[in-house]
Amino acid sequence: MKVKTFVKSFIKKKPLRKASAKAQSAMEYLMTYGWAILIISVVLAALFQLGVFNPMTFAPKAPPGSCQVFRPNGPGTTSFINLEGICSGELPQYVAGFSGTPLTINVTSSVWPLSPQLSVSAWIYTTSPGTNTTTGGRQEIVDRQSFSSPCATCGGYEFTLNGNAYKTRNPGGNLSLELGISFTSGWNETASANQIPIDQWTFVAVTWNGANTIYYINGVSGTPISQTGTLATNTFNTGFIGTWTTRGNFFDGMMANIQIYNITLSANEIQALYLEGIGGAPIDLQHLVAWWPLNGNANDYSGNGNNGVPTNVIFVSNWYNSYTPP
């Protein structure tokens, strides 16, 4: 009787011993290889964060100045102009980096658009909602105006992001696009209804035909907004990228491929610019006034000589981690 009881007890305990052995073996495996697995996981995560696995990392990059407009008769002329170089829309090697502080690009030239029509486009990546004290709620993309007072004689315009939620023309909140124009009746501003996202590359554009302004975000147009008046005139020929007259409204993030035209581009043309991507070439050479790819420098590749002088601007090479081609 005792023998039978012992056998039954041994048979019952044997599976438990096997399970215990397997658990012990698993623990020993984890103790032996667990740190290696953890280190590999951390390294892979770091490489992913750095963009090593991003397909944009291995895409061809265009060096600075690889594409430009050639004007055989000099700046401001339109006869026999054409594009020269590699202009197939490759990704730029660099973009301009701003940090919401006095990092600016100063542009001085006699060629600057003051016409009853205007189009401005750019690729931007903003890291700020625009409400910090450094930017004062505004972030300038491109600006051309004087210090005149009253501003009825400023004779210029500005294309900006506005993060001031209290603005009556943008009660919805942060980061609308704005176009400010100096009329003889005073400074006049309108704002986009749609908001600009942060921490991602976005194509933004605005057109003004002398009567209405249309804002575009990633090639999609908003509703035309009335913006009329007689342009104020001024011989002031200085412009700025990333700031307002070097004194405020500093941009916070990155910018690339700013283009200015003295004509109202159509919705199809704006869409085509967007589809070209961040490295796209200008679409209307006859009416192109300025083109700053911001690919490693602040030179104007429109052939009109609007070269900029960067102040502490950082040209970023690993900008493409968050870029998704159209």
Beta bridge partner(s), residue 252? 99
CATH classification of the domain holding 233: 2.60.120.200
Q: What is the pLDDT of residues 220-243, one digit of tens each?
A: 999 999 999 988 876 566 788 888
Do 229 and 130 share a domain, yes or no? Answer: yes
Q: How many helices (H) and strands (E) does the chain have?
A: 2, 20
Distance separating alpha carbons of residues 58 and 257, to the nearest angstrom: 21
pLDDT bracket for residue 29 (50, 70, 90): low
Q: Last residue of some domain: 16, 31, 49?
A: 49
Q: What is the pLDDT of residues 145-174, one digit of tens each?
A: 665 555 555 667 888 887 654 344 444 446
Q: Last residue of some domain: 32, 49, 66?
A: 49
Do 291 and 318 share a domain, yes or no? Answer: yes
Q: What is the DSSP string of 30-78?
A: HHHHHHHHHHHHHHHHHHHHTTTT-GGGGS-EEPTTSEEEE-TT-TT--
Q: What is the pLDDT of residues 89-112, one digit of tens each?
A: 789 999 999 987 767 777 766 555
Distances (CA, A) of 210 to 148, 154, 181, 186, 227: 22, 17, 10, 15, 7
More confident position, 103 or 219: 219
Do 3 and 95 share a domain, yes or no? Answer: no
Do 169 and 43 share a domain, yes or no? Answer: no
Q: Is 61 exposed, middle or buried (0-12, 13-18, 19+ CB in 10 A)?
A: middle
Give the per-residue pLDDT at 169.
41
Do 315 and 248 share a domain, yes or no? Answer: yes
Do 37 and 177 share a domain, yes or no? Answer: no
The total domain count for the chain is 2
Give the per-residue pLDDT at 148.
54
Domain that holds residue 134: 58-322
Give the per-residue pLDDT at 53.
53
Distance separating alpha carbons of residues 183 and 234, to the nearest angstrom: 11
User: In this structure, are residues 240 and 105 in contact, taking their beta carbons and an 8 Å threshold?
Assistant: yes
Do 277 and 148 share a domain, yes or no? Answer: yes
Q: Which amino acid makes up residue 147? A: F
Do 13 and 80 share a domain, yes or no? Answer: no
Distance separating alpha carbons of residues 134 and 176, to the nearest angstrom: 18
Distance separating alpha carbons of residues 290 and 306, to the nearest angstrom: 6
Q: What is the mean pLDDT of the chain?
A: 79
Rg for the chain (alpha carbons), in Å?
Answer: 28
Do 6 and 97 share a domain, yes or no? Answer: no
Do 41 and 84 share a domain, yes or no? Answer: no
pLDDT bracket for residue 134 (50, 70, 90): very low
Cis geometry, peptide bond prior to residue 150 (ω within 30 degrees of 0)? yes
Do 9 and 146 share a domain, yes or no? Answer: no
Do 270 and 132 share a domain, yes or no? Answer: yes
Tokens of 83: 């594009």
pTM: 0.80
User: In this structure, are residues 298 and 310 in contact, taking their beta carbons and an 8 Å threshold?
Assistant: yes
